[in-house]
Copies of this chain bind each other. A is one copy, B any other.
Amino acid sequence: MTYFNTSLEDVKLLKKEDYPEKGNTKSKMRDDLDALIKELDIKDGASISFHHHLRNGDRVLVQVMRAIQRAGIKDLTLVASSIFPSMAEIVELLEDETITNIVTSYISGPVGEAVSKGKLKGSIIMQSHGGRARAILADEVEIDFAFIAAPSSDQRGNISGVNGINSCGAMGYAISDARKGKTTIAVTDYLTAYPNYPADITEDYIDYVLQIDSIGEKAGIVSGTTMITKDPVGLKIAQDTLKAMIATGLVKDGLSFQTGAGGISLAVADYLRTYMLENDIKGSFASGGITGYLVDMLEEGLFEALFDVQCFDLKAVESIGKNKNHLRMSGSQYGNPDVSCVVDNLDIVILGATEIDTDFNVNVTTGSHGMLMGGSGGHQDTAFGSKVSIIVSKLFSSRIPFIKDRVDVITTPGNTVDILVTERGISINPLRKDLIEKFEKAKVKTIDIHDLKKYAEDVMGVPKKIEKTDRIIGLSQSRTGDILDYIYQVK
């Protein structure tokens, strides 16, 4: 406190004529995107952030970036929590150098391909969801302008994800942007009376409210698989995964659980549900991106609460508006390694993988031919925080081999990946001697990951190395800020 170091006699009093005029009546409302971009006076080289809660239905990122392009501003860093196929137009903005750097946690579709092909002048940094919150809150990633797609807002910027025609439910990934964005703009197509509630972001975090015709299509929130697999191979893996979970000893009262929205993962949740009902087990919480399957389990009393950072389907959106124990969480509360966070309290997480290697490193960042087609999302965070992380995958699901000596890109370090369940057996990370013992006691058969790899190669042949150029186009960052791997331009 300044005044403690000075003699109070020397402190000057504010003169009557200098008292600030009563009332803050400055309007935040704007209704012309191009005029606002001009008013914001965005400089070349600035960083612009977006959240992805409308997922493939988002139309805010493209509209705003197009307006910035029209204004002739160049060399921007795009800090988007995720980038979806619907944002294909952004490729043109890489080509004309409107955007020259990208920081994101997930990228799929044409923009990912364009980046992989070298169309981004600068580089791409791939972060986990928790790592993104950490980097923003720690001022490692600075945000000059945060454009926050708002399913509803009042004139003062109280934003709610549950009201509006394009309600997306939770808005966890936008919280760090709202807190740290030097200028923050709520972009909405649904203006409410003051006060808009329940607010995910309150007016004290918002500088402008821009009203536009449409922020997107709510139906696009449901992207990727959000249905239980019907494939018998997938169902077998899910059944074996439940067996593995039980063998860990963690499936009991107080269980905390997370699973993604992939077909096998959802089947695991479904088998778990039946097992918990039959054995009268009451869990503590489920977390992550939330699906209707987890909402059902909440409403059946199988979990005490849900921690929801983003809604994966419309049933989850509906639930967060009505269920008191369907809790919102920010990206930081979810997985920021600088603080204590929800992933630290997780017993079991079920995760997918594009590739895994014999050190249990997982790649969910690049796909066939080394093309960017994903990213950590919460993968790294939950693998680290959980007592047991389980990768579920078919051994033979595409032309790409699943188990390798070294994954193309390390998304999640192997020392945090504990169990792999495939249709041809369960492998345990040799670091987890405790689990190996437990599985022996429980008489659940396991197989060394090298043997599993050999089996796959016997069937499929030894994979060819992915051919790439020697130009590094980006980095796979660990949630704590270190760099796990390079990402190369593809041929």
Q: Is A40 an interface residue (CB 8 A)?
A: no
Task: Establish whether residues B195 and A1, one from each chain, have CB atoms under 8 Å apart when the complex forms.
Answer: no
A246 at the interface (CB under 8 A from B): no
Q: Do B307 and A28 touch (CB < 8 A)?
A: no
Task: Give bound CA distance, A383 to B21, whole Å.
Answer: 11
Q: Distance in Å from the Cβ of A472 to the closest Cβ of chain B?
A: 4
Chain B residues contacting A383 (CB-CB under 8 Å) are 22
* B304/A193 in contact, CB under 8 A: yes
Q: Name which residue of chain B comes closest to A22, CB basis.
A: B416
A13 adjacent to B472 (CB under 8 Å): no
* Neighbouring B residues of A330 by C-beta, 8 Å: 202, 204
Partner of A77, one of B1, B140, B325, B413: B1
Give the shortest distance, in Å, between A334 (CB) and chain B (any CB).
Answer: 9
How near does chain B come to A59, taking the closest CB pair, in angstroms? Answer: 26
Considering the complex, give the chain B residue whose CB is closest to the CB of A474.
B8
A360: min CB distance to chain B, Å: 11
Which chain A residues numbered 191 to 241 have a C-beta less than 8 Å away from chain B?
193-195, 197-199, 202-206
Instruction: Say yes or no: A475 contacts B11, CB within 8 Å.
Output: yes
A478 within 8 A of B: yes
Contacts of A157 in B (CB 8 A): 340
B384 touches A23 (CB 8 A): yes
Check if A333 sits within 8 Å of B202, measured CB to CB. yes
Instruction: Tell me the A441-463 residues at the B interface (CB within 8 Å).
Output: none
Q: Which residue of B lies closest to A472 (CB)?
A: B8
CB of A327 within 8 Å of the partner chain? yes
- B140 in contact with A2 (CB, 8 Å): yes
Known: A22-B415, A193-B284. A324 touches B198 (CB 8 A): yes
* Size class of the contact patch on chain A: 35 or more
Copies in the complex: 2
- Nearest chain B residue, comparing its CB with the CB of A336: B204
A23-B385 CB under 8 A given contacts A1-B141, A340-B156: yes
Q: Is A123 an interface residue (CB 8 A)?
A: yes
Query: A332 at interface (Cβ–Cβ under 8 A)?
Result: yes
A164–B114 CA distance with the chains assembled, in angstroms: 55
Nearest CB of B to A383, in Å: 8
A23 CA to B480 CA in the complex, in Å? Answer: 13
Bound CA span A314–B12, Å: 43
Residues in B with CB closer than 8 Å to A305 are 195, 197
In the complex, the answer to whether A204 meets B333 with C-beta atoms within 8 Å is yes
Closest to A47 in B: B1
Q: How far is the CA of A324 from the CA of B359 in the complex (A)?
A: 50
- A170 contacts B by Cβ under 8 Å: no
Known contacts A3-B125, A8-B472, A77-B1; A204/B324 CB under 8 A:
no
What per-residue 1/0 map shows which CB atoms of A356-386 lie under 8 Å from chain B? 0001000000000000000000000001111
Distance (whole angstroms) from the CB of A324 to the closest CB of chain B: 7
| In the assembled complex, A63 has its CB within 8 A of some CB on chain B | no
Shortest C-beta distance, A122 to chain B (Å), equals 6
A358, B411: Cα distance in complex, Å: 69
Are A9 and B101 touching (Cβ within 8 A)? Answer: no
Given contacts A14-B483, A23-B344, A195-B305, 14 further A-B contacts (CB under 8 A): A1-B142, A3-B123, A4-B101, A4-B123, A11-B486, A13-B484, A19-B415, A20-B478, A24-B337, A24-B344, A26-B340, A194-B285, A195-B285, A195-B304
- A residues sitting closer than 8 Å to B (CB atoms) are 1-4, 8-9, 11-14, 16, 18-26, 28, 47, 77, 101, 103, 122-123, 125, 135, 140-142, 156-157, 193-195, 197-199, 202-206, 254, 284-285, 304-305, 307, 324-325, 327, 329-330, 332-333, 336-337, 339-342, 344-345, 359, 383-387, 413-416, 472-475, 478, 480, 482-486
Contact sample, A vs B, 25 pairs, CB 8 Å cutoff: A1-B47, A1-B125, A1-B135, A1-B142, A2-B140, A4-B77, A4-B122, A4-B123, A8-B472, A11-B475, A14-B483, A16-B359, A19-B413, A20-B478, A23-B385, A24-B344, A194-B285, A195-B304, A197-B324, A198-B324, A202-B330, A204-B332, A204-B340, A204-B341, A205-B339
